[in-house]
Structure 1
Amino acid sequence: MIDLSGKKGIVFGVANDKSIAYGCADVLRQLGADICLTYLNEKAKPYVAPLADQLDARLFLPCNVAEPGEMEAVFDTVKEEWGEIDFLIHSIAWSPLDELHGQLLDSTAEGFCKAVDISCHSFIRMAKLAKPLMPNGGTLLTMSYHGAERVVENYNMMGPIKAALDSSVRYLASELGPHQVRVHSLSPGPMPTRAASGIQAFDKLMDDAIERSPLHRLGTPEDVGNMAAFLVSDQAASLTGNLIHIDAGHHLMA
């Protein structure tokens, strides 16, 4: 049994109880970790606040990574309240809906750059802010998707953006390794989350995953949470820089 008692961390990206981020936070909390949960804005707060209560989240803070200063305020509060953290989970992605539904060829510089900033560079900024709060090492996790490695129909501009995120994980793992901070990218398969609902024909993608994956099922947010718990734990102390698929083996299939 993994025991995370005494570990503290921040989970970014919970929108509702179907969120992958919530699945991670729930498992980590059950295993004894203290959670700081963030919510996007006042509109999202009523949906996330009950989940923070269920998790007995020690800290519940607003964070829109596109708003200057909000991310920094989270880390300032965490430093004041806790002093140190052991883990961080980044489960944030965004793109303009019309450009997500269009071809990569037709993406605008403005839309692409904003999507990269929110979906990828926000993780880099978080890593920089987390480093001083991890004097004894820690774990940084982010969420990718198979569409970063292969062309997935209708994933469009998010494919190269997630590929940039995966590459960033490897470079951050190298740079933070001397500080005993480990960095990983988790790649869940298709799941019926709010974020995934923006992808066209997503039901078809899930049906294909069930039909062709070796295990003939979808992964769940809890599955992702179980992997996150292992990576956060001391049992994974020698692992860093990995891209780990949690998709019932769907990524294996041509």
Structure 2
Amino acid sequence: MKPLLDLTGKRGLVIGIANDKSIASGCAEAFVRCGARLAATYLNEKAKGWVEPVTQRLGVEWIAPCDVREPGQLEALFDEVKRRWGGLDFLLHSIAFAPKEDLHGRVIDSSAEGFAIAMDVSCHSFLRAARLAEPLMTDGGCVLCVTFYGSERVVAHYNLMGPVKAALESATRYLASELGHKGIRAHAISPGPIATRAASGIERFDELLERAAAEVPGHIPVEIEDVGALAAFLVSDGARRITGTIIPVDGGQHLFA
């Protein structure tokens, strides 16, 4: 009998590695350590130089460009998955974006264009990716995304991303419901504050990190390895009867108002 976290033979696509400190990087390392075969993406040629050292170190089989705002790139990515592997077992979506002027302002002042961009990149692209993954997951599978507790509580300076992440979590539940009959599961992982490149765009994020470390029961900040451990479990056969969840990896921060 295989260990519960044995991912040997499973094929996974990781969208969102930015560098060695990104959440997607921590997840990719956990997948590889459990035996999975991986493909990964990079945003553009400029970003490729930061992504390749991570993917080469981990032995990722292949990488491809993926800017979800560029017409046809997401579709081309999944065409490449089909050409190379013929199928897919799991998908991690770990990308988010909002224009700086909208992210740093009040939610009520956000522009229609900025709100639409944030929703498209951070939420709707997850739905698009799941739809493209669906025909490749002929034996079932798992799709994961990354959220934040600012979706359900007001977090200072998180601003526009709060409503956007709330939409992402709702979308995850609907995915789980709509794809469950095909054996495809869906989850949103909700890490506590982590000092990633994406998080650096949030004003006074260092204060959020300090407050989180002070508030959690163990007073130990969350690391990308913690997120990776959960992600590996969720895509494993050990989680085959779990779907539609929003799971915190925050050291217990969600316990407090």
Q: Which interval holds the TM-score relative to the shorter structure?
A: over 0.9
Q: Which residue of the partner structure matches residue 135 of structure 1?
A: 138
Q: Offset at 1:50? A: 1.4
Q: Which residue of the partner structure matches residue 239 of structure 2?
A: 236
**Partner SS, residue 28 of structure 1:** helix
Alignment map for 1:144-223 (pairs within 5 Å) = 144-223=147-226
Q: Which residue of the partner structure matches residue 126 of structure 2?
A: 123
Q: Offset at 1:202? A: 0.6
**Partner SS, residue 13 of structure 2:** strand
Hey, what's the Cα distance between the residues in 1 that align with 2:167 and 2:256?
23
- Where does structure 1 differ by over 3 angstroms across 4 or more consecutive aligned residues? none
Hey, what's the Cα distance between the residues in 2 that align with 1:8 and 1:82?
8
**Partner SS, residue 53 of structure 1:** helix
Q: Which residue of the partner structure matches residue 102 of structure 1?
A: 105
Number of positions where the alignment pairs a residue of Structure 1 with one of Structure 2: 254
Hey, what's the Cα distance between the residues in 1 that align with 2:119 and 2:160?
10
Q: Which residue of the partner structure matches residue 88 of structure 1?
A: 91
Alignment map for 1:10-29 (pairs within 5 Å) = 10-29=13-32
Q: Offset at 1:51? A: 1.1
1:250 paired residue among 235, 249, 253? 253
Q: Offset at 1:128? A: 0.3
Q: Deviations over 1:59-98 (max 9, x none)?
A: 1100001101001111001101100111000000000011
1:68 paired residue among 62, 67, 71? 71
Look up the equivalent residue of 1:194 and give its one-letter code: R
1:226 paired with 2:238, answer no
Q: Offset at 1:252? A: 1.1
Hey, what's the Cα distance between the residues in 2 that align with 1:191 and 1:59?
27
Hey, what's the Cα distance between the residues in 1 that align with 2:43 and 2:220?
31
Q: Offset at 1:39? A: 0.2
Q: Which residue of the partner structure matches residue 56 of structure 1?
A: 59
Q: Deviations over 1:13-40 (max 9, x none)?
A: 0100000000000110011001101000
Look up the equivalent residue of 2:105 and give its one-letter code: G
**Partner SS, residue 245 of structure 1:** strand
Q: Offset at 1:183? A: 0.0
Look up the equivalent residue of 2:237 and give its one-letter code: D
Q: Which moved more, 1:182-191 or 1:207-216?
A: 207-216
Look up the equivalent residue of 2:220 and give its one-letter code: R
Q: Deviations over 1:129-150 (max 9, x none)?
A: 0000001100000000000010
Unaligned runs of 5+ in 1: none
**Partner SS, residue 44 of structure 1:** helix
Hey, what's the Cα distance between the residues in 1 that align with 2:150 and 2:27?
21
Q: Which moved more, 1:12-21 or 1:215-224?
A: 215-224
Hey, what's the Cα distance between the residues in 2 that align with 1:176 and 1:224?
24
Hey, what's the Cα distance between the residues in 2 that align with 1:208 and 1:24?
25
**Partner SS, residue 182 of structure 1:** strand
Are the counterparts in 2 of residues 213 and 250 from structure 1 also a CA contact under 8 Å?
yes
Hey, what's the Cα distance between the residues in 1 that align with 2:210 and 2:14?
29
Q: How much is the aligned-residue C-alpha RMSD, in angstroms?
A: 0.7
**Partner SS, residue 217 of structure 1:** coil
Question: What TM-score, normalized to structure 1?
Answer: 0.99
Are the counterparts in 2 of residues 35 and 55 from structure 1 also a CA contact under 8 Å?
no
Hey, what's the Cα distance between the residues in 2 that align with 1:219 and 1:86?
27
